[in-house]
Amino acid sequence: MQELNSERREYFRINDNILLDYLSLTEIDVEAMGESITSFNDSNDQQCIKLNLVQSSFKSLIDQVDQSESLISNAVSTIDTHLNILRHAIQHEHIDFENTKEIEANLSGGGIACLIPEKIPVGTAVEVKVQLRPSGIKVHAVTRVISCREIKTAPQNTPFYLRLKFTHLHDGDRALLVEHAESKIVD
């Protein structure tokens, strides 16, 4: 545990009950999958194209908002959050989240850690599909194993503590993860 406590944290970390599915990837798959996750431009779907245009236009407006006007800034931030939720729903509607299993995990906007049944080598790329509770928000990401070690006191069916760092995660999904973690801290 000292190893975990001494590590610098970029984001709030929480222990949470989530749904998770993971799969080791080959290096060939990493870049293609990572690009499709981080960019929302690969789809020919009309909804995606229209939402991309709105988000792009809105981003330039956000950049122009005078931060001294807190009411306007809050309104713009709220609209941006709503656009992000829409993007999230459209982007994830075609991803299969049916093989997820309920687990306890340590979660943040920077990564995830949990107990798993098998050892995965450090440096391995891993695709993860996470569903947050109770919101049902789904996150799809590519990660890298930063540690996977056996814990003698862990349950026999999940003896390995896996620590993953997000390497390919859409900025909007990262914002939703951070928001989720902050909401759990406040509760």
Mean pLDDT over 135-140 rounds to 83
Length of the chain: 187
Q: What is the pTM of this model?
A: 0.69
Give residue 87's pLDDT band: very low, low, confident or very high (50, 70, 90): low
Residue 49: pLDDT above 50? yes
pLDDT at 89: 63
Distances (CA, A) of 148 to 123, 129, 158, 162, 172: 10, 19, 12, 4, 28
What pLDDT, on the 0 to 100 scale, is given for residue 67? 56
Give tens-digit pLDDT for 104-126.
999 988 999 999 999 999 999 99
* Angstrom distances, CA of residue 47 to CA of 50, 86, 88, 126: 5, 10, 12, 29
Q: Which of 74-88, 135-149, 172-186 has the lowest mean pLDDT?
A: 74-88
Which residue, among 129, 150, 153, has the nearest Cα to 37 in the 3D structure? 129
At 85 the pLDDT is: 67
